[in-house]
Amino acid sequence: MMRNTTKLSILGLVGVTGLLPLQATLADCSGRCAAWEAVGEYNGTNPDLPKTVPEGEKFESALYKHSSTWINDFAWRDNSAWERDFRDQTLGGSDDAYGDDVDLLLFAGHGNSSGFYFGVNQDDLQVHYNDAILGDKDLEWLIVDACQVLKNDSGKWNRWGWPVFEGLHYILSYSTNTFDKDSRGEDFLKYAMKYGWRVKSAWVKATILSENGTTAAYMRADNGTTDTYNDHLWGFGFTSADPDNPTTLYYSSWSTN
């Protein structure tokens, strides 16, 4: 899938050589929607990761294998994966059309406790936690398959907790460094969809299956009327209402040994 790096809007563009898919540019995603972005080619800004794009492709294949009611709304890879897709629209981003316009989103690439990295500057090389306000439109579950995004230190609540969670249920990621593997997204969907496991349990299983010696993690939000602990993906069991204006954040980490 090609994505022109001069894209600004669907109308009135100069120098655009190809149109983006209508699904990703014109219409909100309705129903049960997933998507993925993966960066394998970092153009010298970080070491390349050969298994991230295959992870996204396997994630999409598993989605259709295990569900007849979910669709994959977009798939951006390498130079077509952009920081602005995750940046809140009130901060100059396009998350209302991309990252926050689906229910389940996978990112695979490099990361650290401040955010996760892209190979092209559109409009930055890193999604920083200060730029992310997620769930205020649609997103429930964000998988960030990248190193140290949910690093377990005293600052984690103020980085990826408040105010990132604005209806978002979970961030599923890692506390420590992690290895470049192509199976985690696929395994997550296998256990969440085929076996109907809770979201948190499916992520725990996917991380343990793919490696050992690292520490994976999740963060989730609740308010007085929600129960994200027992969350399942839509159609595979109980799904909590959105924790708008969350009052409590929870963090869990585990060894993949």
Report how far residue 131's alpha carbon sits from residue 143's, in angstroms, rounded to the nearest whole number.
Answer: 17
What is the per-residue pLDDT for 222? 98
Rg (CA), the chain: 17
Strand ranges inside 164-214, DSSP E: 170-174
Domains present along the chain, CATH in parentheses: 30-255 (3.40.50)
**Three-state DSSP state, 128:** strand
Residue 142 near residue 108, CB atoms below 8 Å? no
From residue 112, how far is each of 13, 94, 121, 151, 252 by CA, in Å?
35, 22, 17, 8, 18
What is the separation of C-alpha 178 from the centre of its chain, rounded to a whole number of angstroms? 16
Give the number of other Cβ atoms within 10 Å of residue 2's Cβ.
Answer: 10
What is the per-residue pLDDT for 29? 72
Per-residue pLDDT of the chain (257 residues; tens, 9 = 90+): 455 433 322 233 333 333 333 334 435 677 899 999 999 999 999 999 999 999 999 999 999 999 999 999 999 999 999 999 999 999 999 999 999 999 999 999 999 999 999 999 999 999 999 999 999 999 999 999 999 999 999 999 999 999 899 999 999 999 999 999 999 999 999 999 999 999 999 999 999 999 999 999 999 999 999 999 999 999 999 999 999 999 999 999 999 99
Angle at the Cα of 58 from the Cα atoms of 4 and 159, rounded to 5 degrees: 70
Residue 212 near residue 257, CB atoms below 8 Å? yes
Angle at the Cα of 6 from the Cα atoms of 5 and 12, rounded to 5 degrees: 145
Q: What are phi and psi of 152, to 5 degrees?
A: -85, 85
What is the per-residue pLDDT for 28? 62
Helices (H), 45-155: 52-66
Q: What is the DSSP string of 6-27?
A: T---SSS-SS--SPPPHHHHTS
